[in-house]
Structure 1
């Protein structure tokens, strides 16, 4: 009798668990950032908002940096539909036009960046069209701030001064080309291999990131952060288009709304957060260098002259005309 009662209770528990199981399972990941990083916290909050907004109809599994593979491998999975949602700094392997997201010296201030990347901004529709070409839906920007070059032992503020410095760049266009135009030697290295590459002297530092990444991940190795501001660093909030379109209209709207909230919150907080990270790095001994107007102008001219024509070859003259029309 006792065994029958226990069996019945167990069966009821299984039945209840099944009854309350989510109807839909989604996977969200980021290619850069562990669980306690800003990007990791952001996707965890996004997952929670989707689950709560769906009243339990959707369960979201969260994966952080390197848990599904390298930066390029996880993007492959995403394009293939093995991952549904992503906060990415995406590879241009599938389409060089993706590089338009971080066109160097496209914007020069937070105000210009907001104007370009807000939901109805001039750059937003361009970026969405580019991602749609490889089967992805662009849900918005996740801004971090203006990038710089972090090095150890030596630093440069001019093109000539950078000639004997080799820096790591992300493995997608136009990052290497931009740094080369600024005078640096470059080495394309996966994010997960950057620490060892600096530690062993393969490169003198990292480039193309806001100071958070260089201080948080390589602060024990790096001495200087030159705020070149050559690109506005932003992640892209994305959905696999095929998987997205298989969802109900209600669930699609939920994902779009939660992504927009995620973007708005990041725009509201990122500028102050970047400044706090600068202060943290300086307090811990990293030297922070701002360029003079003349130094900044020289880099801007070199990059626009050498790199923008290459970008135009990839994105087409129509897109590039819009960028030129808005750039200052």
Structure 2
């Protein structure tokens, strides 16, 4: 039966009951999978996850189906990453700082001011550096990075004072993820960093356990930190990447055709999400101001760069000098 005949029969009825006719191009769902993330529905994270799931459905013609669990329904990021490694969960979308524990070279992406701009990011993640780095990660962790999204340029939000110069960070209790590179960076800048789980952060800020945190403008709005934090200072110490991790054994069990479909969907979803995120950075600063937050943009970041140079030296052996050099030079040789 041809395509025309199949579609013509789709709406036919027998005894008044609609009869479904299978269209061979549309496949039965053979691989059901879950993808977890910790942010709110409608956030740039969630938009990226939705795009990934939709494209996987398209490119596998319905054979692989992802269901999304936002708002930390399946656990906080480090927990879902661990569950993905163990095969208890098929996939997890996490900030890259919650994925590096299995492979220290991945921390190269978290060195302060390592990226010049988003074009530099693209050169790294889509070139030989990203290919080599992510393959090393797969071998070390048993998880495959199938998409690179972003949390974005992470400015500083707090309720003590605006941050215009390095000295303004002195003594501020700043929440950082449980990542030594990030914690050491803000220690070098004079802050008093404290590692607090994301799920406990809202109450920690309310109770004064921390004076603030670092993150992108839209992320501060999505999490309603504007309810009690007064100042947002845009100094992008980190460009926060995020990754979709899939259990590699689960991935390898897919057909070769579906493996390529998942990778294609991941690449395209990442590009789309990072564009949405970039636009949210542009609009996010004005939205913060509209919500009553005092916003300032730090124009001269050189003193911040100078103050954090020691982080490169102290992490050179752990991360690998060759990775640092490769990332720093990416795009400059062209």
Q: Same fold (TM over 0.5)?
A: yes
Contact 1:50 1:254 in 2 (8 A): yes
Are positions 1:299 and 2:307 aligned together?
no
Residue equivalent to 2:6: none
What SS does the corresponding residue of 2:315 show, helix, strand or coil? helix
Residue equivalent to 1:80: 86
Q: Equivalent of 2:173, from 162, 166, 173?
A: 166
Within-5 A mapping of 1:189-268: 189-207=196-214, 209-217=215-223, 218-268=225-275
TM-score (norm: length of structure 1): 0.85
What SS does the corresponding residue of 2:101 show, helix, strand or coil? coil
TM-score (norm: length of structure 2): 0.84
Which ranges of structure 1 fall in alignment gaps of 5 or more residues?
1-12
Are positions 1:22 and 2:26 aligned together?
no
Contact 1:168 1:189 in 2 (8 A): yes
Q: Aligned pair in 2 of structure 1 residues 132, 285: CA closer, same or farther (>3 Å)? A: farther
Residue equivalent to 1:105: 113
Q: Number of aligned pairs?
A: 306
Within-5 A mapping of 1:3-14: none
Aligned partners of 1:241 and 1:213: how far apart in 2? Answer: 30
Q: Could you give the per-residue CA deviations for residues 55-114 of structure 1, whole angstroms, max 9, x where no partner exists? A: 332232221232111222111101112222222112433333332232221113233223
1:123 Cα shift? Answer: 4.3
Within-5 A mapping of 1:151-190: 151-190=158-197
1:127 Cα shift? Answer: 4.0
1:115 Cα shift? Answer: 2.6
Residue equivalent to 2:124: 116
Q: Aligned pair in 2 of structure 1 residues 299, 166: CA closer, same or farther (>3 Å)? A: same
Q: Could you give the per-residue CA deviations for residues 7-33 of structure 1, whole angstroms, max 9, x where no partner exists? A: xxxxxx9xx9xxx86221112122x31
Q: Could you give the per-residue CA deviations for residues 233-257 of structure 1, whole angstroms, max 9, x where no partner exists? A: 2211322222111111011011001
What SS does the corresponding residue of 2:275 show, helix, strand or coil? helix
Aligned partners of 1:156 and 1:34: how far apart in 2? Answer: 28
Q: Aligned pair in 2 of structure 1 residues 145, 92: CA closer, same or farther (>3 Å)? A: closer
Q: Could you give the per-residue CA deviations for residues 275-297 of structure 1, whole angstroms, max 9, x where no partner exists? A: 1111111111111111132xx11
Which ranges of structure 2 fall in alignment gaps of 5 or more residues?
1-18
What SS does the corresponding residue of 2:157 show, helix, strand or coil? strand
